[in-house]
Structure 1
């Protein structure tokens, strides 16, 4: 009986999380890697292109990969605040790179915060360094480029 109750609570929590996402942001699977965006709501991103299309991803890494490989002109990139899971503009977010929290599709982890106080709290609790968006974007572009390199044969 206890197992059934725990399973029911888990299922209801997942359903509730899905309703917290809005519009195209409700898309469950990442368009790049297929990972569950509800489970990774704290790291998800939403790209809007100039042609009106959108790409819902599990992480800022997958969002930047989509931007670089789509050939479309980007209109906006919104990323989840680590704590509230609300979407904020990537350029205006406060970014933390590194720390003990494992990154989602990226290493070291890259975390976005709507408020500098929250980023500071994360650094105090998990480590990492507050990093300007331009530097985070450069790191992400380098990661995507590294992924595309052919494997070296020994």
Structure 2
């Protein structure tokens, strides 16, 4: 009897952990960023989802890539833009999010981090630990556009170094 209970409990733990580890629906349907190809599950805390009036969606890993998308598709009208809450990874509306700009924590696709939080108290707690400033979505996306040149330059250099390292390993 004890073995049976142990077996059932073990099976429950295995299946429960698989359920908890399952990616969100938006990550399952778009596992990589539309612009840079990065893994959206790995960067689930910064991912974004843009829904257009024609019903199509574009999934990105970060505000940087979402800003690229919004700038290059000027004739498409977004009807909903969502961002992951930094802590829970659940998608929330960008205008309802409390944004944190800057701080000591490394950003995704940017030198100046831009994080979104569902609750102001969570953003303030993050700032106490990591620094940064509270912002609105308009301020966050403006910062993304202001940082675009330097961030793109940084990303190109990083990818160049990565290619060189791969060539060295291949020899």
Which TM class, normalised by the smaller chain length? Answer: 0.7 to 0.9
Alignment equivalent of 1:57, drawn from 43, 60, 64: 60
Q: How big is the shift at 1:136?
A: 1.0
Moved more, 57-66 or 79-88: 57-66
Pick aligned residue for 2:110 from 97, 106, 110: 106
Higher helix fraction (1 or 2): 2
Counterpart CA distance in 2 for 1:56 and 1:77 is 10
Post-superposition Cα deviations, 1:11-56, rounded to whole Å, max 9, x if no partner, equal xx79954x2311x442111000000000000010001111111011
Alignment of 1:6-45 (within 5 A): 17=21, 19-22=22-25, 24-26=26-28, 27-45=30-48
3-state SS of the aligned residue for 1:95?
strand
Superposition TM-score, scaled by structure 2 size? 0.72
Matches within 5 A, 1:1-150: 17=21, 19-22=22-25, 24-26=26-28, 27-71=30-74, 72-144=76-148, 147=152
For residues 139 and 70 of structure 2, what CA distance do their matches in structure 1 show? 17
Cα pair 2:67 2:145 within 8 Å, conserved: yes
TM-score, length-scaled by structure 1: 0.79
Q: Secondary structure at the match of 1:130?
A: strand
Q: Distance in 1 between matches of 2:124 and 2:40?
A: 25
Shift of 1:119: 0.2
Deviation, 1:143, is 2.9
Offset of 1:133 from its aligned partner? 1.9
Question: Structure 2: how far apart are the matches of 1:69 and 1:55?
Answer: 12
**Separation of aligned partners in 2, 1:53 and 1:107:** 30
